[in-house]
Chains A and B, each alone.
Chain A
Amino acid sequence: GAVVSQHPSRVICKSGTSVKIECRSLDFQATTMFWYRQFPKQSLMLMATSNEGSKATYEQGVEKDKFLINHASLTLSTLTVTSAHPEDSSFYICSARPAGAYEQYFGPGTRLTVT
C-alpha cells in the first residue's frame, strides 16, 4: 500500500515552454501533498504544500506564479513549471500524506531538463 506515482518520469523541454507534472496517490486519499526539488548532491528542498481544495502554501523564495500547483482531488496534485528556463532543470519529487498520518509517501520523481 501507500503508492505514489509521478508522470512523466523524464521530460525535456525548450526554454520558454511550460511543463506539467502529475502526482497521484494510487491506493489512499491524500489530504496533503508536497512538492520538493532536489539539486545534485543536495537535500530535498520543500517547494510547497498543498491541501485538497485550497491554495498551495509556498516556501520562502519559491515563485508561486512560476510553479503553479493544483490539488484538485484527494488523489491528484499537479505542478506546472511555467516559462521554463535552464535553471529550472532539476529533479522534482512529490509526496502525499494520508489523513491522520505523519508519514509522507514519495513518488519516484521527475527529471526535468530545460534546453
Chain B
Amino acid sequence: GDSVTQTEGLVTVTEGLPVKLNCTYQTTYLTIAFFWYVQYLNEAPQVLLRSSTDNKRTEHQGFHATLHKSSSSFHLQKSSAQLSDSALYYCALSGSNNYAQGLTFGLGTRVSVFP
C-alpha cells in the first residue's frame, strides 16, 4: 500500500530562523497529488500547500515545497519561522485520477517556534 514518512515528530526552531520538515513517500499511483496540511491548536486541519507537478515549486504563506518524484519527496520549508507557525503539520498524498479517494497521511510533525 501507499505510505508517507515524516521523520521528525517534533521540530523546535528559533523565530527568524529557517525550518524544514521532511516528507517522503511510497505509492503505487501513477499520478499523484501531494498536500501539506497544518493544524493549529484546537482547530481543524487546513491545506497549506498542494502539488501534483514534478519539480515545480509551490508557495503559500511563506512556505514552499517542491515535489521530486525522483527522490519520492515533498519537503516543506520556510526561510524565516514565525511564532504563529507553531502547529502540527501533516504531509499527505492521494492518487490524482478521476476517482474519489482518501488521503494517506504521515504521522505529522509538530513545530514549536521560540522567541
Chains A and B belong together in one complex: no
Interface, chain A (partner B; CB < 8 A)? none
